[in-house]
Structure 1
Amino acid sequence: MAPQLDTQTLGLVFQSRPDILAGIQQAADTPARTTLFNDIASFVYERLACADAPDGPASKRRRLDIAQPPAQTHRNGHAQDSVPPAGSQTGALGADAAVADPVLLEVKDISVTAPQRKKYDLCFTKNFLYARASGTSVPVQGIVYPWTDIEHAFYLPVPDKSQAQYNYVLLPRGSFLPTAKQASASAVDRQQPLEPLVFTVPATAPKPGSIGGSSAKTAEAVSDTYSSLFNWALTTSLRSAGNHSCQLVAADPKLFHSVARQPHRPNEKAVHVKAFRGSKDGFLFFLPTGILWAFKKPLLFLPLDRIVAVSYTNVLRTTFNMVVELDTEGSSDGSSTVEKEVEFGMIDQGDYQGIDDTYVRRHGLADRSMAEQRKAKRELVENAKKAPADGEGDASAAGGADGMTELERAQQEAEQRLQDEEDEMEEDYDPGSDGDSEGEGESSEDEDDDDDEDEEDEDEMGTAED
C-alpha cells in the first residue's frame, strides 16, 4: 500500500505557511517523496516539542509523549484527512500547534498567579490563549489553552487590596470540580486536565507599547482600561473559536454582597466572603452561575446545576460552616471521582442571611439543614440583624447573651415548651366538672329548707306590691 501524505502533522508544522504546505502537496507525487515529506514534518514537530520544554526532563518527556501519535501515524502509513479540533486534548495539539498559529493579539507584562506565579506576555490566536516569557517565541509549558476547552470564565475584583485590581479566572473542562483523593491506576495514567488560569490586571489603562499583534489597532479602540481590553479580547476569541457556551461572568453585588465592610475600599461592596476549606483560607464568590472558591489552589467551582443541597453546620456565635452537596453523576469530564460534599468553614455569622435568603433560596437550592443527620449539628441564628416579621423574634435576636451555644439553647427551649404545655393542661383541669359525685354529701332536708326560704321570700315580695 502506497504511503499517504500526513496532512495532520504537516498542517500543524506549516500552518503559518500555507504556500509551503501547498508546494508539498503538489510535489508529493511519488511514494518516495511522500515518505520524505512525512519524515521532515515529523522531525520538525518533535524538535518544536523539545524546544518548548525549558522546565526540565519531566516536561520534555511529556511533550515528546504528546508528540508521538502523529509520528506513529506517519510511520504506519495511515494518513488522516482532517486536523482534529483545536480543543482536543488528544490530537498532539498544544504548545506546538499554538506556535504555528499566528498571534492576533499580544498583551505584555501580565501578572499570572496560576498555574504559575510570574509575569508573562499573554498571546491570543485563533485557536489558543497562551503565555510566553518576555523575549521568547515559544509558549510556557502548561499555560496553553485551546479556546474550545474553556468551560467557565470569570471577572472578579481582587479582595483586600487598597488599589482596585481584577482577576480573570479561566476554567478548562474537568479542572474545577472537587475530586476524591483516591485514584485508580487508570486514572493516574490518563492525561490530566489543564489547570485553571488566573491572571491579574490593574484598574488602569494598558501601558504604551504593551499591546501587539495583527489586531492591535482594533484593540486600541477598547483599551481604555485593562479590563475593557480583556473583556473584549476574551469574549471575541471564545466566539470566534465556536465556543458559544462559555460566557464571561462578573460578580454582581445586586445578586450577592457581604455585610462586612472592606477596610481597604470602604465605599465598595464586597462580593465575596472569607472562608476556609480545611486549613486553607480563601474567598467564596456567589456568582450567577455557581459558587467559586478562590484563589488558593486547588480552585473550585460548583455550578448551580450540580448543587443538590446546601446545609449549615457547626454554627457558633460568630461563625458557621456551609456544606454543599453535589450531584456526582453525569460529570462532564466523564470522571466518577467527584466528591459528594464540600464543606467551607468559619464563615462570618453576619453573612448568613445574604447567603441563605439572597442566594440559596433565590436559586431554589434545597436546604437540607433539618435533615435528621444534621439536626444535632444545625444551629441557625435566624439572624439577629433580620428585623422580626410579626412582632416575634425579639428573644432570638438577643441570642448569645447567655453564653450558650445555639444547640443548647434549642434544647432548653424545647424542654420549656413541654413544661408550658403540661402547666396549661393542669390549669384547664376543673374538679367540679367531673360529675355529681362530689355533691353526694348534701341531704334532702337541706334542699327542703332552701325551698321554704324561697317561698317566704316570694310572699314578702307580694305583700310589698299590694
Structure 2
Amino acid sequence: MSAPSSASALEEAFSDAPLLRQEILKHVSNNPQSLDLLHQISRYIINIKQASIDDRDGPAVKRRKLENNAGSQIEVVSKSTLVAELSSQPTLLRVPDISFSIPQRKKFTLVLTAAALGAFGPNDTVEFGVHVNEVDYVACVPVPEKAARQWNFAIFVKNSHGISDAPTDPLLFTVTDTPPKGGAPGEGTDTRQTITATLNRILPINVTEPSPEVFRSLAANSYRKNEDSYHVKSHLGTKEGFLFFLENAIIWGFKKPLFCFAFDSIESSSYSSITQRTFSLTIKTTAEFGGKEIEFSMIDQVEHPAIDDFLRKNQLKDASMAEARRAKIPSSLIKENTGAKSELQAAENEIAGVDQNDSDDEDDDDYEENSEGSDHTDASDSDDSDAGSNINRRTASRNLAEEELGSELEDVDITDDEESRD
C-alpha cells in the first residue's frame, strides 16, 4: 500500500481541528513550496495520535498478544517517545520488506535513526521498536538448515532475554544475502552487512556474530557442505530449536521464548540425561534472573567436546557433580567423575567399557597379589586356617556364580571332596 497523499495526510492529521485544517490548506494553495514540510508535520501528528491511542487502549487490530509465565496478557505497543524519535529524526537506514518473527510475524519496513530502531507498517505507522540506549545485546547468526543463506538479527533490551519474569519481547527479523531494497545506503553490499554497519554506528555495543575461534559445531553441515555450522540442535521441552555459543552469551531460538544467556546471568551449567547418542545441557541463572534451571535436551553426543571446551574456556561452572545432582548419577559414574572430568565424559567411558579404577596391572599403586596366585605357603598356617580358607573360597565361588547366572543357578552344594579336586 502506498503512502497517503499530502492532502489526505493533512485531512487525517487535523480531522479534529477543521478550522486549523482550512487555514493550512489555504496556506498551501498560496505557498506550494511548503507542501512537503506540511506533509511531514502531518505524518508526525498522525503517528503521535496513533501512539497515544495504543498506549491508552492497547494494540491495534491483529497486534499479537504475548503471554508471560503467570498467564497475563502482555501487549507490545508503540511508545509516544519512540514514535517521536522515529518520525522527527533523520533516517539513517530504511529497508522495506524485512521479515519479522518477534513480536509480530509479518513484513515491515525497518527504519533506523540515531536514537531508535522501528518497524513501520502501511502508511508509515510505527508498529513497534526499541530505543537505541536500551539495547544491551545484538546477535546476527546464520539461519540453520537453509539451503539459501539467511541471517537472523536478535535484538535484546533489558528484561527481554526470556530468562526473567519480565514481559518485554526482543526483536527478531530475518534478512537474505541480497542488496537492500529501496536504494538504501550501502548499496553494493548485502543487507546483513548494511544493517550491521549501521547498528554498530548507533548502538552502545557491537553486533555479535559467530566465530570459529569462539565456537564451531562438530556436526556436518548437510545444507551447505563447504561451510562451518555454528548452531547445535536441541529441544526445550517439546520445542525444537538451536543453541548458539557466542562471545559473551548463549542464545536459544528461534521460537518463542527466545533465550539470551549473557555470561553474567549464568550461575552454572551441567550435563544430564546422558545416553550413548544424546545428552542434556542445563543452564542455571543467577538469583538476579530468577535462579531458574533451563534444560536443553536431545543434543548430539558429537557436539559435546566443542560445548565442553566453550563452557570451560568461559569459566561457566560445571555443576554436574553438585550435591543436589549426585543422587541422580550412578555410583560407577561418580567414581569416574573425579578431578576436572565432567559427568558426560564419565558416561562416555562407561559406555565404551572403560573402568580406569579397576585395574589388575601389577604396576598400579593399589595392586595386591591374590593369595591363590602365590607360589608360597606359610608353613605356620594351622588346619583351622586352611578350613576357614576353604569355606571362604566356597562362599565366594557360589556368590560369584549367583551374580553371573542369577536364577539359573542350580541349588547344588560344593563338597569338600569337590573342592579338594579343584
Matches within 5 A, 1:48-447: 48-50=48-50, 57-59=57-59, 93-134=81-122, 136-140=123-127, 143-179=128-164, 192-193=167-168, 195-207=169-181, 209-211=182-184, 216=185, 219-220=186-187, 223-238=188-203, 243=204, 246-329=205-288, 338-356=290-308, 358-378=309-329, 400=351, 424=369, 426=371, 432=377
Structure 1-normalised TM-score?
Answer: 0.58
1:93 aligns to what SS in structure 2?
helix
Distance in 1 between residues matched to 2:47 and 2:150, nearest whole Å: 40
Residues 275 and 347 in structure 1, CA contact (< 8 A), matched pair in contact too: yes
Gaps spanning 5+ residues in structure 2: where? 1-12, 14-43, 62-76, 334-345, 384-422
Q: Distance in 1 between matches of 2:94 and 2:46?
A: 26
Distance 1:227 1:327, change over 3 A: same
Q: 2:260 is aligned with what amino acid?
A: F
Contact persistence 1:52–1:139 (CA under 8 A):
no
Q: Is the 8 A contact 2:78 2:129 kept in 1?
A: no
Q: How many angstroms apart in 2 are the aligned matches of 1:369 and 1:397?
A: 14
Give the whole-Å Cα distance in 2 for the aligned partners of 1:248 and 1:54. 31
Aligned-partner Cα distance in 1 for 2:368–2:109: 77
RMSD: 4.1
User: Which stretches of structure 1, 4 residues or more, deviate above 4 A after TM superposition?
Assistant: 44-47, 51-57, 89-92, 395-402, 413-417, 420-433, 435-439
Distance 1:378 1:354, change over 3 A: farther
CA-CA distance at 1:106 after TM superposition: 1.0
AA in 1 matched with 2:300 = D
Q: Which has the larger radius of gyration?
A: 1
Shift of 1:262: 1.9
**Shift in CA distance, 178/437, structure 1 to aligned 2, threshold 3 Å:** closer
* 8 Å CA contact 1:120, 1:131 repeated in 2: yes
Deviations 1:172-227 (A, max 9, x none): 111104135xxxxxx8xxxx43x1111111112224x342xxxx4xx34xx41112
* TM-score for the superposition, normalised by structure 2: 0.63
1-structure distance, mates of 2:328, 2:275: 10
Distance in 1 (alpha carbons) for counterparts of 2:105 and 2:52: 19
Contact kept? 1:115, 1:196, Cα under 8 Å: yes
The count of residues paired between Structure 1 and Structure 2 equals 311
SS at match of 1:235: helix
Report the AA paired with residue 126 of structure 2. P
Task: Check whether the contact 1:50–1:60 (CA below 8 A) recurs between aligned residues.
Answer: no
Give the C-alpha shift of residue 260 in structure 1: 1.4
Whole-Å separation in 2 of the counterparts to 1:288 and 1:51: 37
1:6-48 deviation digits (Å, cap 9, x = unpaired): xxxxxxx9xxxxxxxxxxxxxxxxxxxxxxxxxxxxxx97982
Q: Is the 8 A contact 1:45 1:96 kept in 2?
A: no
Tell me, yes or no, if the aligned pair for 2:282 and 2:294 is still in contact at 8 Å.
Answer: yes
For structure 1, the residue ranges without an aligned partner over 5 or more in a row are: 1-12, 14-43, 62-88, 181-186, 332-337, 383-394, 403-408, 440-466
Change (3 A) 1:437 1:151: closer
Task: State the percentage of identical aligned residues.
Answer: 31
